[in-house]
Amino acid sequence: MTEYKKPLPRVTRLSHPFWEAAKRHELMLQKCNGCGHLQYPPYATCPKCLSGSYEWTLVSGKGKVWSWVIFHQLYYPAFRDDLPYNVAVVQLEEGPKITSNIVGTANEDISCDMPVEAVFDDVTEEVSLVRFKRA
């Protein structure tokens, strides 16, 4: 595996289960034990009912493009070879939105409501990033 030079996520106590699942190529989100609300990113308390009790649950990884932008300007040198690249907000079938990238589709072919599904990019031995491809 070649050295990954782009920023990596900061894995915290709260986000650790999310990143461990991604390494297994699974998408898991926090589910509140108080009201059942699914949330991303992970929080210590539920934004709906303020419960601090939650579990991690497997979700489908299916969703649709809610919004996206194409970056043409270089802000970080590590992204030079990727220009232009997309950053998309994907709304999962289960409700939460995740910011990621759409892969395997030309930037000009991305559209709102385009159906997508999660794929996993093993960027290091310890980190797999969640990306999305056209479903």
Structure confidence by residue, pLDDT tens digits, 57-101: 999 999 999 999 999 999 999 999 999 999 999 999 999 999 999
* Closest alpha carbon to 129 in 88, 105, 95, 100: 100
Distance in angstroms (rounded) separating the CA atoms of residues 97 and 112: 13
Dihedral of alpha carbons 78, 29, 51, 44, sign? negative
**What is the token pair recorded at 114?**
């385009």
CB contact at 8 A, 61 and 38: no
Fold exhibited by the domain 61-135: OB fold (Dihydrolipoamide Acetyltransferase, E2P) (2.40.50)
pTM, entire model:
0.93
Sorted by where each begins, the domain ranges of the chain are 12-59, 61-135
Average pLDDT rounded to a whole number, residues 28-32 = 98
Each residue's pLDDT tens digit, 36-52: 999 999 999 999 999 99
Query: Which CA distances in Å does 27 have to 31, 82, 96, 128, 129?
Result: 13, 25, 12, 11, 10
